[in-house]
Amino acid sequence: GAGVSQSPSNKVTEKGKDVELRCDPISGHTALYWYRQSLGQGLEFLIYFQGNSAPDKSGLPSDRFSAERTGGSVSTLTIQRTQQEDSAVYLCASSLTSSGGQTQYFGPGTRLLVL
């Protein structure tokens, strides 16, 4: 079946502009995660959804970052007034549930470059 898909695959934007990143999880997966990976770094947790609700938003770096999930499926991560330090690969993952031990399946990521 289809895996996790993300769009766009690459995004170049100017400092101060808003961007929207999209994630389509695997069908039937109730849990969805957003991570950020800076060059040469591990994955930094941003937020996760169980269904449409976000029990843990603790990783969002500032109030410029927000995310929503509608219909228990597609999720959008929005970064307002982008800064150069926002440049990174944004990875989305989904799992059957959010319980520990569930395999998280990752998408290919969106590479964001803020000029």
Partner 1 sequence: QKEVEQDPGPLSVPEGAIVSLNCTYSNSAFQYFMWYRQYSRKGPELLMYTYSSGNKEDGRFTAQVDKSSKYISLFIRDSQPSDSATYLCAMTYTNAGKSTFGDGTTLTVKP
The CA angle 93-97-101, to the nearest 5 degrees, is: 80
Q: How far is the CB of 114 from partner 1 (least distance, A)?
A: 19
Should residue 73 be labelled a site residue for partner 1 when binding is judged by CB under 8 A?
A: no
φ, ψ (nearest 5 deg) of residue 6: -135, 145
Should residue 42 be labelled a site residue for partner 1 when binding is judged by CB under 8 A?
A: yes
Of 2 and 14, the one with the shorter C-beta distance to partner 1 is 2
Q: What is the 3-state secondary structure (H, E, C) of 1-69?
A: CCCCEEECCEEEECCCCCEEEEEECCCCCCEEEEEEECCCCCEEEEEEEECCEEEECCCCCCCCEEEEE
Q: Which of 12, 41, 62, 115 binds partner 1 (CB under 8 A)?
A: 41
Should residue 65 be labelled a site residue for partner 1 when binding is judged by CB under 8 A?
A: no
Should residue 28 be labelled a site residue for partner 1 when binding is judged by CB under 8 A?
A: no
Residues within the interface to partner 1 (CB under 8 A)? 4, 31, 33, 35, 40-45, 48, 50, 55-56, 59, 91, 93, 95, 98-101, 103-109
